[in-house]
Structure 1
Amino acid sequence: MAFFGFKDIEKLSEVDMAVYRYIVDHDEQVPYMRVRDLATGAHVSNSSVMRFIHKIGYSSFPEFKVSFKSENQDLMESKSDILTMFTRDAFPQNIEKTIKLVAHLMLDADNIVFIGMGASGAIGEYAARQASSLGFNCFAVKDPYYPLIQQLSNASNNVLITLSVSGKTTELVEMLNNFVNSADTVLTSITGNIESPIARMGRYALSYSIEETRIHKYYDLTSQVPAVYLVDGLLKELHSQDLARQLH
């Protein structure tokens, strides 16, 4: 029996759910309550509380309280810094300056292209959509074999922003090699590795530090929160610079 692991929620009535929600919201007090205390708090009858206790698999209220207290303590002890994924120390000291410089490049670009694969590609799509909403000619490329060089062959003043946690993705490096010596295209990146080939290929690199996490050798579970944070900061700065330019 496990209260927090109870799976048959759909079998609970509205009265049952009132009891359930009250217990969840008062997890520290419940082990010290009597049946009538819980009933009063949930605005139900004593018998409704007992029907709920039996329905979730306990034979008595004392049995439920002992089990619930133990389960709740296990949950509390297993808690880590779930929401503290990174701090300001995860970014270089000059990150704000670099964001302003990249935003300035984007401000006057004829084409802005976000490039990435996998989760980075999804963030690139998000960034491109937001930049387009701000009125900029922007799109995302998730396929490293996309004929981007042909598409931009007659275009000038292009900014390519590559997203890559490792900064070493071979397919992306090969794609970017087509633009390294281009006078019409500026390469920049958002990466977790400032020493990586992708970071070194560009004029600017918005970098961050975070521990890479992989499972089953190939599946990357590294947090992309810092990358999204930088993307949002970049878009905010781009919008700010655009407004400032319009005022002048």
Structure 2
Amino acid sequence: MAFFGFKDIDKLSEVDMAIYRYIVDHDEQVPLMRVRDMAKGAHVSNSSVMRFIHKIGYNSFPEFKVSFKNENQDLMRSQQNILNIFTRDAFPHDIEKTIKLVAHLMLDADNIVFFGMGGSGAIAEYGARQAASLGFNSFAVKDPFYPLIAQLQNTSNNVIITLSVSGKTSEIVETLNNFVNSPDTILISVTGNIESPVARIGRYALTYNVPETRIHKYYDLTSQVPCVYIVDGLLMELHNQDIERQK
């Protein structure tokens, strides 16, 4: 039996759901309650509470309270560090200054390209869409074999922002090498590895430091939250500088 893991929610009546929601909203007080306390709080009868307790698999109210208390304590212990993904220490001390410099380059760019693969590609799409919403010519590239060289061939004043957790993906590095000596393209990176080729290849590297997590050797589960945090910071600063310029 498990209150929080109860699977037949769809079989509960409206009265049952009122009791269920009341218990969830008052989880710390439940172990100290009597049947009539719960009934009063949920605005139902005592008998409705007992029918609910039996329906979810408990023989008595005391049995439910003991089980609920243990289950809730286990759940709280498992949740303590869920949102503690990173702190300010995960970023270089001068990250804000670098964001301002990169945003200034984006402000003057004719084309802003967000480039990434896999999960980084999804963030690239997000960044490009948001930049476009701000009125800038921006698009995302998720395919390292996309003819980006041809697309930017007759353009100038381009900024390519590459997103890569490891900064070592060979396909990404090969693509960027085509723009290293281009006077018309500025390379920026957002990466979790300051020593990586992607970080070294561009003018500015916006870096962060979080533990790398992989499963089954090939699947990267390293948190992308710091990357999104930096991208959002870039977009916010870009918007602010755009407003200042228009004054």
- Secondary structure of the 2:85 match is coil
Q: CA deviation at 1:124?
A: 0.5
1:65 equivalenced with 2:65 (yes/no): yes
- Secondary structure of the 2:81 match is coil
Q: Deviations over 1:160-186 (max 9, x none)?
A: 000001101111001111111111101
What one-letter code is carried by the residue in structure 2 that aligns with 1:41? G
CA distance in 1, matches of 2:79, 2:244: 45
Percentage of pairs with the same residue: 81
Output the TM-score relative to the length of structure 2: 0.98
CA distance in 2, matches of 1:129, 1:230: 15
CA distance in 1, matches of 2:81, 2:74: 16
* Aligned position for 2:236: 236
1:76 equivalenced with 2:76 (yes/no): yes
Q: CA deviation at 1:77?
A: 2.5
CA distance in 1, matches of 2:115, 2:122: 10
* Aligned position for 1:110: 110
CA distance in 1, matches of 2:158, 2:194: 22
* Aligned position for 1:32: 32
1:7 equivalenced with 2:7 (yes/no): yes
Taking only aligned residues, the RMSD between alpha carbons, in angstroms, comes to 0.8
Q: CA deviation at 1:144?
A: 0.5
* Aligned position for 2:162: 162
* Aligned position for 1:194: 194
CA distance in 2, matches of 1:97, 1:34: 58
Q: CA deviation at 1:81?
A: 1.7
CA distance in 2, matches of 1:28, 1:198: 49
Q: Deviations over 1:61-80 (max 9, x none)?
A: 11111111111121222233
* Aligned position for 2:179: 179
What one-letter code is carried by the residue in structure 1 that aligns with 2:223? S
What one-letter code is carried by the residue in structure 1 that aligns with 2:215? I
What one-letter code is carried by the residue in structure 2 that aligns with 1:120? S
* Aligned position for 1:92: 92
The 4+ residue runs of structure 1 with deviation greater than 3 A are none
1:41 equivalenced with 2:41 (yes/no): yes
CA distance in 1, matches of 2:8, 2:84: 32
CA distance in 2, matches of 1:52, 1:83: 33
What one-letter code is carried by the residue in structure 2 that aligns with 1:38? M
Q: How does 1:135-154 map to 2 (within 5 A)?
A: 135-154=135-154
CA distance in 2, matches of 1:232, 1:226: 10
Q: CA deviation at 1:154?
A: 0.5
Output the TM-score relative to the length of structure 1: 0.98
Q: Deviations over 1:141-199 (max 9, x none)?
A: 00000000000010111000000011011110011111111111010010011110000
* Aligned position for 2:125: 125
* Aligned position for 1:215: 215
- Secondary structure of the 1:70 match is helix
Q: More deviation in 19-28 or 70-79?
A: 70-79
* Aligned position for 1:134: 134
Gaps of 5+ in 2: none
- Secondary structure of the 2:189 match is strand
CA distance in 2, matches of 1:28, 1:242: 49
- Secondary structure of the 1:226 match is helix
Q: More deviation in 108-117 or 81-90?
A: 81-90
- Secondary structure of the 2:103 match is helix
